[in-house]
Chains A and B, each alone.
Chain A
Amino acid sequence: MNLFELFSIFIGVALVNNFIFCQFLGLCPYIGVTERTSSAMGMGMAVIFVMVMSSVITWAIYEWVLVPCGITYLYIIAFILVIAAFVQLVEMFLQKSVPALYRALGIYLPLITTNCAVLGVATLNKQQLFGVPGSLIKCIVQGLGGGVGFTLAMLIMAGIRERLDFAEVPEPLKGIPIAIITAGLTAISFLGFAGLSF
Chain B
Amino acid sequence: MHNVVLLSLVVLGLMGLGLGLVLAIFSRIFAVTIDPRIEEVAHALAGLNCGVCGYPGCTAMAEALVAGKAHARQCTPGGAAVVKKVSQILGREELPAEPHVAVVKCRGGREEAREKAIYRGIEDCVAIEVLEAGAKSCIYGCLGMGSCVSSCPFRAIRMTANRLPEILEEKCTGCGKCAAMCPRHVIALIPRRQRVYLGCVSRDKGKEVKLICTVGCTACGLCALPTITPSGVVVVKNNLPEFPPDWDDFAAAAEKCPSKCFIIRTV
Main secondary structure of the interface of B (DSSP, over half): helix
**CB-contacts of B4-18 with A (<8 A):** 4, 7-8, 11-12, 15-16
Which residues from chain B sit less than 8 Å from chain A, CB to CB? 4, 7-8, 11-12, 15-16, 19-20, 22-23, 26-27, 29-32
Nearest to A91 among chain B residues (CB) is B30
Which one of A71-79, A125-133, A160-168 contacts B? A71-79
Q: Complex Cα distance A53/B27, Å?
A: 20
CB distance from A39 to the nearest CB of B (A): 16
A92 and B26 within 8 A (CB): yes
Main secondary structure of the interface of A (DSSP, over half): helix
Partner of A92 from B7, B12, B27 at Cβ < 8 Å: B27
Q: Complex Cα distance A78/B18, Å?
A: 12
A65 and B27 within 8 A (CB): no
Which residues from chain A sit less than 8 Å from chain B, CB to CB? 61, 65-66, 69-71, 74, 77-78, 81-82, 85, 88-89, 92-93, 95-97, 99
Q: Complex Cα distance A71/B15, Å?
A: 13
17 contacts between A and B (CB under 8 A): A65-B11, A66-B11, A71-B8, A74-B8, A78-B15, A81-B12, A81-B19, A82-B19, A88-B23, A89-B22, A92-B30, A93-B26, A95-B32, A96-B29, A96-B32, A97-B30, A99-B32
Q: Complex Cα distance A129/B26, Å?
A: 32
CB distance from B100 to the nearest CB of A (A): 34
B30 and A85 within 8 A (CB): no
A71 and B30 within 8 A (CB): no
B16 and A89 within 8 A (CB): no
A85 and B19 within 8 A (CB): yes
CB-CB < 8 A to B27: which residues of A? Answer: 92
7 further A-B pairs in the complex, CB-CB below 8 A; given A71-B4, A74-B8? A61-B15, A71-B7, A71-B8, A77-B12, A92-B30, A93-B30, A96-B29
Nearest to B11 among chain A residues (CB) is A69
Q: Complex Cα distance A35/B4, Å?
A: 48
B23 and A85 within 8 A (CB): yes
Nearest to A71 among chain B residues (CB) is B8
B4 and A85 within 8 A (CB): no
CB-CB < 8 A to B16: which residues of A? Answer: 81
CB-CB < 8 A to B32: which residues of A? Answer: 95-96, 99
CB distance from B250 to the nearest CB of A (A): 52
CB distance from B242 to the nearest CB of A (A): 46
Q: Which 4 A-B pairs have the closest CB atoms?
A: A96-B30, A85-B19, A92-B30, A71-B8
CB-CB < 8 A to A65: which residues of B? Answer: 11, 15
A81-B8 in contact given A89-B23, A92-B26, A95-B30 (Cβ < 8 Å): no
Partner of B26 from A71, A81, A89 at Cβ < 8 Å: A89
Among A82, A89, A99, which residue has the most Cβ atoms of chain B within 10 A? Answer: A89
A74-B12 in contact given A95-B30, A96-B32 (Cβ < 8 Å): yes
CB distance from B239 to the nearest CB of A (A): 44
CB-CB < 8 A to B19: which residues of A? Answer: 81-82, 85
CB-CB < 8 A to A70: which residues of B? Answer: 4, 7
Q: Complex Cα distance A65/B7, Å?
A: 12
Nearest to A66 among chain B residues (CB) is B11
Q: Complex Cα distance A53/B227, Å?
A: 87
Nearest to B10 among chain A residues (CB) is A69
CB distance from B263 to the nearest CB of A (A): 43
